[in-house]
Amino acid sequence: MEVNEQYAIDNGKEPSAIKQLLMHHGPLTPTEYYLKMDEVMDELAYHAFLKDVDAYITKDVPIQHLIGHEVFYGYAFKVSPDVLIPRFETEELVTHTLDYIDTFFQKEPLRLADVGTGSGCIGLTLKKEHSTLDVTCTDISKKALLIAQENAASLGVQATFAQGSMCEPLGEMDKFDIIVSNPPYLKDKEPVAPIVKDHEPHEALYGGSDGLKYYRELFESVEAMVNPTYMIALEHGYDTAKAIRKLIQKTLKDVTIIQKKDMQGRDRMTFVFKNNKVRISG
């Protein structure tokens, strides 16, 4: 058997995964890899590489679990089966959030909570990019919070971590200016690829029969946790933007709602503003 990108394609898998695993086990940087393609790999490393290729191809193990991290917004986040693997779509939520902070919030320090933080990718990236933010990350899973804490340490950022569902742990704290979340939003019966369903935590994936359980929970509890001027920034499923708008109109009064598409043109993000003098529509 020849282990190359064609082998992945023949098995209906991502060809780039083979290169990433090779890079992970070999001593070369991506540039060196192209310059020294004909060099022989150390035998131990080669066996470790073959083992991981097999886990990826035959057992559907995500390569992020084999490599141990995923790159999000240019930062390496440790991942394990206890957290959702950060998705690149979520980088767009971070970008818009940073833009809105610059446009609508002059005060410093701003208090921001990333609720349902998982690996910590949203809250910790925001802290990396906007160092004066006072960031709190919540998650219902203790194991997820431990990973997020490790990520904060390896990225060299300070954040507060609190265990509990969505906004629940925030009740005890000073009020927040910004709430960001990418909560679990798959419908309970939604078909999901085995590489996701068999390897990522179900409590990070599923959001009840309509996928909206955690948005409901958030909108019903959030006003007690925030200052009079606030923003909520959310990622959601591509087909729930209208339902989320309705939910907001039902639960939050006098707010401005802006919904955004992701780079693939899918309705994926909702931003809610209160008292920010937001005059944009869309």
Q: Which residues in this chain contact ligand GLN in the complex, by CB under 6 A? A: 84, 86, 90, 116-119, 121-122, 182-184, 204
User: In this structure, is the dihedral angle defined by the CA atoms of residues 48, 52, 57 and 59, taken in order, positive or negative?
Assistant: positive
Cβ at position 21, least distance to ligand GLN in Å: 22
The angle formed by the CA atoms of residues 257, 74 and 120, to the nearest 5 degrees, is 60
CA dist 204 → 3, 41, 88, 238, 273 (Å): 33, 38, 16, 17, 26
Q: Comparing C-alpha atoms, which of 20, 137, 34, 4 is closest to residue 69?
A: 20
By beta-carbon proximity to ligand GLN, the closer residue of 18 and 121 is 121
By beta-carbon proximity to ligand GLN, the closer residue of 115 and 272 is 115
- The residue nearest ligand GLN at its CB is 118
Cβ at position 108, least distance to ligand GLN in Å: 24
Cβ at position 245, least distance to ligand GLN in Å: 20
By beta-carbon proximity to ligand GLN, the closer residue of 8 and 167 is 167
Cβ at position 183, least distance to ligand GLN in Å: 5
Residue 10 CB-half CA count within 13 A: 8
Residue 217 CB-half CA count within 13 A: 18
Cβ at position 184, least distance to ligand GLN in Å: 4
Q: How many CB atoms lie within 10 A of CB 160?
A: 15
By beta-carbon proximity to ligand GLN, the closer residue of 182 and 276 is 182
By beta-carbon proximity to ligand GLN, the closer residue of 8 and 139 is 139
Place of tokens 């960031």: 135
